[in-house]
């Protein structure tokens, strides 16, 4: 809908010494804070964000930046998606770029840098888009707690972490040091030689007996699959990503990186009580990725109206090891969208298979999709080239040109038995048709109304080498170059990425604003005198 309202924000991206868990490190912040500001708008509003890049000099390198608005479809503004080399060229140090896009969906999401793994250093924040029924009277809750961002945390600068992954003989990242809730956690200072003050504290949420509270759970991690619970309480799930679903009750929420789940929690506890809000990465058998975190358990405090907010809870979890060991989202039979869309193809049906492998190129390990480890070129905007009819992609861009209309099914196979992949597609709420092990037999779960979202687990392969699969489907209704990638930061850094040219004939009718093409002109001038060290895929 058109509201004739523009919500305006200014983001300043810079380096800052921060200590969200008490351990001092060089972080990347927006407007001086971590996490960054929450963007809030109504469905149909325009959102304007002026982003200034003040990142100049990191381990001897200067850096560009871009910001991606996760989950927003960008049907009116595909050039505002914020992916470097696809929608635009990077914003050079010392310069600004203004994003302008529609709040075209409603619910909970997040924004983050899409330049290398910058978001792992702290460049991210929440997005809340209020919908037509986004009121307590219509949605069945009394108060909105707001965003609850549960993410892993590293004490080394992100650039070192990427370099370690790309230069590793194993291809495995270093373990995360901590797990934060809304940017807070305590770290045992005895476990580090870095400057450390044990005063970070924990996130706290106030409950009132008998009321129902909406919590907007977001996983902005680099490597961690989060398993979230509240001692003595249950969740009623009302949305996954930007898709409202038929409510159901559960004790445990599993979030892959980039995923969001909106829940309602009924305050059934004692008015004098306080309870642990927990998120566990899982270790050993329970781990969805490698390696295990050093401090894998995050906690926050739920305290009731008559409780001492500074008291430490003594509650225990009811979550079993079997529940923690599950490395997948809730069953597709359980997650049913409120608004029905059939899996019947619109127009002609096409199928594209993507085989995901972990391979050694002779010097180090990389992730490949159909035998190509992707790497983008910051000097170009692929979308701008496509709009001019001049897109001649290099093999390492891993570009797939889709038809001008119809429906595409993507059958994704994972052959690696030690890690799952949270697969994210830009520009779509895809339908999740099936998941399992072996070879997909064509069967569809809930074909009249399959689950929809923008990030879905591709599970670990089985120990005996049997591949896992996830099948997703989109209608070709968004002319753009929409990327599909693993949202585990180190995997996309190591090449787990494809670019999908959707409705190429219609892309030629897109007028790219001069401010977007100017990012490439400015980048060319910048790199004439500076040589940014692109050590990974670039996205």
Q: Residue 60's pLDDT is what?
A: 53
Instruction: Say which CATH topology domain 1-133 has.
Output: Immunoglobulin-like (2.60.40)
> What is the spatial distance between Cα 327 and Cα 305, in angstroms, rounded to a whole number?
36
Domain ranges of the chain: 1-133, 135-327, 349-508
The answer to whether the beta carbons of residues 469 and 434 sit under 8 Å apart is: yes
Q: Tell me the three state secondary structure of residue 158.
A: helix
> What is the spatial distance between Cα 309 and Cα 303, in angstroms, rounded to a whole number?
6
Residue 454's closest CA among 475, 489, 430?
A: 430
Q: Residue 135's pLDDT is what?
A: 65
The answer to whether the beta carbons of residues 489 and 120 sit under 8 Å apart is: yes
CA–centroid distance for 293 within its chain = 19
Q: Residue 361's pLDDT is what?
A: 85
> What is the spatial distance between Cα 473 and Cα 481, in angstroms, rounded to a whole number?
16
One fold for 1-133 and 349-508 = yes
Residue count of the chain, please give it. 539
Low-confidence ranges of the chain (pLDDT < 50): 285-286
The architecture that CATH gives domain 135-327 is: Sandwich (2.60)
* DSSP single-letter state for residue 169: S
> What is the spatial distance between Cα 476 and Cα 502, in angstroms, rounded to a whole number?
7
12-68 pLDDT, tens digit each: 999 999 999 999 999 999 999 999 999 999 999 999 999 999 998 655 568 999 999
Using CB atoms within 10 A of its CB, is residue 291 exposed (0-12), middle (13-18) or buried (19+)? Answer: middle
DSSP letter for each residue of 266-304: E--S-TT-EEEEEEE---GGG-SSSS--SS-EEEEEEE-
Which residue do the tokens 């405090």 mark?
A: 301
Instruction: Say which CATH topology domain 349-508 has.
Output: Immunoglobulin-like (2.60.40)
Residues 114-136 as b/e (b if ≥16 CB within 10 A, e otherwise) read bbbbbbbbbbbbbbbbbbeebee
The answer to whether the beta carbons of residues 200 and 155 sit under 8 Å apart is: no
477-523 pLDDT, tens digit each: 999 999 999 999 999 999 999 999 999 999 999 999 999 999 999 99
């Amino acid at each position: 809908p058109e509201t004739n309202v523009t919500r305006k924000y200014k983001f300043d991206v810079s380096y800052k010494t921060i200590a969200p868990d008490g351990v001092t490190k060089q972080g990347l912040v927006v407007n001086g804070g971590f996490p960054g500001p929450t963007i809030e708008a109504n469905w149909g509003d325009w959102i304007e964000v002026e982003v200034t890049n003040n990142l100049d000099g990191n381990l001897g390198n200067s850096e560009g930046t871009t910001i991606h608005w996760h989950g927003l479809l960008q049907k009116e503004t595909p050039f505002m998606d914020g992916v470097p080399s696809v929608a635009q060229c990077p914003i050079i140090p010392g310069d600004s770029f203004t994003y302008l896009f529609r709040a075209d969906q409603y619910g909970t999401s997040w924004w983050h840098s899409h330049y290398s793994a910058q978001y792992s250093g702290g460049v991210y924040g929440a997005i809340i888009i209020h919908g037509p029924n986004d009121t307590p009277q219509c949605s069945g809750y009394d108060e909105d707690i707001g965003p609850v961002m549960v993410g892993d945390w590293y004490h080394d600068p992100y650039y070192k972490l990427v370099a370690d992954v790309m230069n590793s003989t194993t291809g495995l990242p270093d373990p995360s040091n901590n797990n934060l809730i809304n940017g807070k956690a305590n770290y045992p200072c005895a476990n580090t030689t870095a400057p450390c003050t044990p005063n970070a504290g924990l996130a706290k949420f106030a409950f009132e007996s008998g009321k129902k509270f909406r919590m907007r759970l977001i996983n902005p991690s680099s490597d961690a699959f989060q398993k979230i619970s509240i001692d003595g309480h249950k969740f009623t799930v009302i949305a996954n990503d930007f898709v409202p679903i038929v409510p159901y009750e559960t004790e445990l929420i599993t979030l892959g990186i980039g995923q969001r789940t909106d829940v309602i929690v009924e305050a059934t506890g004692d008015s004098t009580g306080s309870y642990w809000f927990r998120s566990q990465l899982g270790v050993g058998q329970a781990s969805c990725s490698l390696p295990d975190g050093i401090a894998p358990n995050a906690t926050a405090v739920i305290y009731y109206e008559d409780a001492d907010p500074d008291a430490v809870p003594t509650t225990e979890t009811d979550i079993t090891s079997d529940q923690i060991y599950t490395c997948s989202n809730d069953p597709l039979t359980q997650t049913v969208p409120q608004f029905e869309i059939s899996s019947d193809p619109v127009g002609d049906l096409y199928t594209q298979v993507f085989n995901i492998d972990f391979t050694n190129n002779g010097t180090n390990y990389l992730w490949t999709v159909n035998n190509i480890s992707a790497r983008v070129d910051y000097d170009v905007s692929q979308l701008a080239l496509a709009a001019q009819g001049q897109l001649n992609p290099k093999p390492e861009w891993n570009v797939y040109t889709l038809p001008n209309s119809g429906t595409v099914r993507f059958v994704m196979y994972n052959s690696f038995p030690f890690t799952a992949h949270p697969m994210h597609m830009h520009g779509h709420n895809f339908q999740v048709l099936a998941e399992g092990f072996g070879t997909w037999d064509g069967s569809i779960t809930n074909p009249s109304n399959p689950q929809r979202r923008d990030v879905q687990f591709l599970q670990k392969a089985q120990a005996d080498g049997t591949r896992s699969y996830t099948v997703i489907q989109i209608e070709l209704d968004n002319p753009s170059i929409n990327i599909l990638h693993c949202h585990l930061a180190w995997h996309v850094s190591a090449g787990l990425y494809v670019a999908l040219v959707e409705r190429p004939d219609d892309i030629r009718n897109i007028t790219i604003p001069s401010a977007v093409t100017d990012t490439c002109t400015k980048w060319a001038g910048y790199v004439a005198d500076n040589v940014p060290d692109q050590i990974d895929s670039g996205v």
